[in-house]
Amino acid sequence: MSSSYKSLKEECYEANMQLNALNLVVYTFGNVSAVKRDEGLFAIKPSGVPYEVLKPEDIVILDFENNIVEGKLRPSSDTKTHAFLYKNWEEIGGIAHTHATYSVAWAQAQMDIPIFGTTHADHLTADIPCAPPMSDDLIKGNYEHNTGIQILDCFKDKNLSYKEVEMVLIGNHGPFAWGKDAAKAVYNSKVLEVIAEMAYLTRQINPNAPRLKDSLINKHYERKHGKNAYYGQ
């Protein structure tokens, strides 16, 4: 692969393959993108290509206006959502979208995922937000672009920071996650799916299970992310 975007394509390819390896996708569902900020470009999985035949050279390079810069295949159908988020959230380096079972179940229920336990608090201090279903006017318009608007509106309405909450559910649709690079976006997608499953099971065992108390939320988040964090090496 002689492309000048070889490293960007390989980063995107590896992240997409990891999405599949972590059982977050079935068939051709899902996609990951990776951004090259200094050139205003991003790489994304081509639409409808099975993971078992996907190759690094198949990855499509686009600018933030959705113009193809390099690639012979059509990019993911979700490309406009990725482009919109990259344009508006300047500190993210990768985005992942899946149709993972438990995450989608909460999205279809149109419910935020409550913070029930310390696994959730290890990663964020808020409930995982679920954006309301898209309005009919937006559905009839530029749908994938408007999905990005849907996400930004949700964060504005709930007064959330994309730097602190790196995941969201789209009502009746499914999850998006992001991070400093494509690998972190995939990591956050897996964390979201695990938390979604744990929360579902918690509700089955006790429909009235209480939210995790603030002292435990703060303790677990701060020990991994605070200025005096001591988790890890």
Domain boundaries, the chain: 6-225
Domain at 6-225: CATH code: 3.40.225.10
Instruction: Report d(CA 196, CA 106) in Å as an integer.
Output: 7
Q: Do residues 13 and 54 lie in contact, with contact meaning Cβ atoms separated by under 8 Å?
A: yes
- Give the three-class secondary structure for 71: coil
pTM for the model: 0.96
Residue 4's pLDDT is what? Answer: 80
Q: Do residues 61 and 71 lie in contact, with contact meaning Cβ atoms separated by under 8 Å?
A: yes
Instruction: Return the bridge partners of 131, or none.
Output: 170
DSSP letter, residue 175: E
pLDDT in tens, the chain (233 residues): 557 899 999 999 999 999 999 999 989 999 999 999 999 999 999 999 999 999 999 999 999 999 999 999 999 999 999 999 999 999 999 999 999 999 999 999 999 999 999 999 999 999 999 999 999 999 999 999 999 999 999 999 999 999 999 999 999 999 999 999 999 999 999 999 999 999 999 999 999 999 999 999 999 999 999 999 999 88
The CA-based angle 92-11-142, given to 5 degrees, is 55
Closest CA to 162 of 154, 171, 174: 154
Other Cβ atoms less than 10 A from the Cβ of 86: the count is 24
92: which 2 tokens? Answer: 């993210």
User: Which amino acids are annotated catalytic?
Assistant: 122, 231
